[in-house]
Structure 1
Amino acid sequence: MKRLNGAWVAYCIVFLLFEIVVARYIAAFDRFDQMRIVNNWHAYHLDYFFRVLTFAGELLIPVLVILLFFYKRRAWLKPFLFSYALSTLIVQGLKHFVFASALRPYAYFKAVDIPWYLVPGVEIHEQNSFPSGHSAAAWFCFMWIALYVNKRWAGVLMALLACGVGISRVYLFQHFPVDVAFGAFIGITCSSIFYYSYHENIAA
């Protein structure tokens, strides 16, 4: 039996806690209150922080990891790209073919006369809400960084950053919590499948 990587275990524990918290939040409030509570958090420094975090999780970090693996850990590049491709394929397939009618918060609540706060400079989307692609990308990508560092603390830290990306999608009024939770599940599952499928070739 293969020995489980300590960083991966720590990462998964934080993921499970995140999913439990989100599930309890979803169960406790209806969709309107889920978004209203988060929408009331707004502050200038949080607007900036979550804009940066959501961009990093979707594009910047994956590109940096690709470059890192290309130059430092070439054997890891193939499973990383495969997990990226599978995660993206699943997310986009669900968004455009299975849940194509799922509205994002702004469109979902259009008929409600509420002055929602929208972060300046953020393009608000209205369609293809489920699941969250940013959350999937963050949870798949940060897992590989944790595995590369190969320390339990890295698993915890990277998972917390992935949590932050997920929260940013709700904070920026782009997704509902359920979109984020399911996206996170897709991302971590895809990376775990390919990491352990290639374990014998990429184990340090």
Structure 2
Amino acid sequence: MRYLKQLLGEKSVLLLMLPFLLGIGFLMISFGKGPSHLLVNKWNSPAADIFFKYATHLGDGAIFAVVIVILAFVKFRWALYELVAALMTLVFVFIAKQLIFKGMPRPTAYFENAEVLHLVEGVKTHAMNSFPSGHTITAFAVFVILILIVKNNFLKILFAIIAILAGWSRVYLSQHFLGDVLSGALIGSMIAVFSCSLVDNLSIFKTAWIDKNLLQLFSKKHDE
């Protein structure tokens, strides 16, 4: 698959993402679900509280809408990558959280004494439907697509960092366990790869307008 090979060939991105994913996996295997969360929950500070309180919004579903609108002014094909990924993310998260893994407790419900957790003031914590992390799926789906379409290496690294921070924020805020975030990162990345491939290969999208943008369409209508 072209886009999977491309992603695996992004050395600067992998140098950031692989340690993040492998580190999470190591902590989970070494300490287990609950203890690993308590361990990383101790890594906190007032400055980090403020930072992650807002950084977590980089995984909100609204980020898809923002990126889709921006990309529509650049190239419709790229906007469609994100639109298809948004729809796939919506369906996958709904099925996973509401049907398959419904009721799985989040950290505040998992621990009998929630006072053992460091919680950030002003952040409303959820109790159930922990697996997988929807915010992490969204962040990785959105920003991995951007990594695949931009040429600038600095932007690729920036997008990888944003995805990682959005994912880590879910653990920092005790909204999810490490496993929820690890699975979310992998699922989101695969959704990104599959969405790009789907748009490129479906005949319905093989039209002249797909490689144009909104400005070009408006300009054409004005000329007519």
AA of the residue aligned to 1:159: A
Tell me what 2:72 maps to.
Answer: 70
AA of the residue aligned to 1:119: V
CA distance in structure 1 between the partners assigned to 2:48 and 2:98 by the alignment: 31
AA of the residue aligned to 1:29: F
Give the C-alpha shift of residue 172 in structure 1: 0.1
| Equivalent residue runs for 1:69-108 within 5 Å | 69-108=71-110
Tell me what 2:194 maps to.
Answer: 193
CA distance in structure 2 between the partners assigned to 1:49 and 1:41 by the alignment: 14
2:83 is aligned with 1:46: no
AA of the residue aligned to 1:103: P
CA distance in structure 1 between the partners assigned to 2:38 and 2:78 by the alignment: 42
Give the C-alpha shift of residue 113 in structure 1: 6.8
Contact 1:135 1:183 in 2 (8 A): yes
Give the C-alpha shift of residue 9 in structure 1: 2.8
Greater shift, 7-16 or 73-82, is seen at: 7-16
Tell me what 2:63 maps to.
Answer: 61
Where 2:20 maps in the other structure, the secondary structure is helix
Determine which structure has greater relative contact order: mean sequence separation of CA pairs < 8 Å that are 6+ residues apart, divided by chain length. Answer: 1
The CA deviation string for residues 77-127 of structure 1, in whole angstroms up to 9 with x for no partner, is 222111111122112211110011210000010x23743221011001001
Contact 2:24 2:182 in 1 (8 A): yes
CA distance in structure 2 between the partners assigned to 1:58 and 1:8 by the alignment: 28
AA of the residue aligned to 1:185: L
Where 1:187 maps in the other structure, the secondary structure is helix
Gaps of 5+ in 1: none
CA distance in structure 2 between the partners assigned to 1:124 and 1:113 by the alignment: 11
Residue 7 and residue 52 in structure 1: after superposition, are their counterparts in 2 closer, same or farther (change >3 A)? Answer: farther
| Equivalent residue runs for 1:107-146 within 5 Å | 107-109=109-111, 111-112=112-113, 114-146=115-147
Contact 2:75 2:211 in 1 (8 A): no
The CA deviation string for residues 131-159 of structure 1, in whole angstroms up to 9 with x for no partner, is 00000000000112223422344333312
Contact 1:35 1:170 in 2 (8 A): yes
AA of the residue aligned to 2:193: S
AA of the residue aligned to 1:22: I
CA distance in structure 2 between the partners assigned to 1:113 and 1:190 by the alignment: 34
Tell me what 2:219 maps to.
Answer: none
Tell me what 1:162 maps to.
Answer: 163
TM-score norm. by structure 2 comes to: 0.80
TM-score norm. by structure 1 comes to: 0.87
Give the C-alpha shift of residue 67 in structure 1: 1.4
CA RMSD in angstroms, aligned pairs only: 2.6
Residue 40 and residue 13 in structure 1: after superposition, are their counterparts in 2 closer, same or farther (change >3 A)? Answer: closer
Give the C-alpha shift of residue 13 in structure 1: 5.8
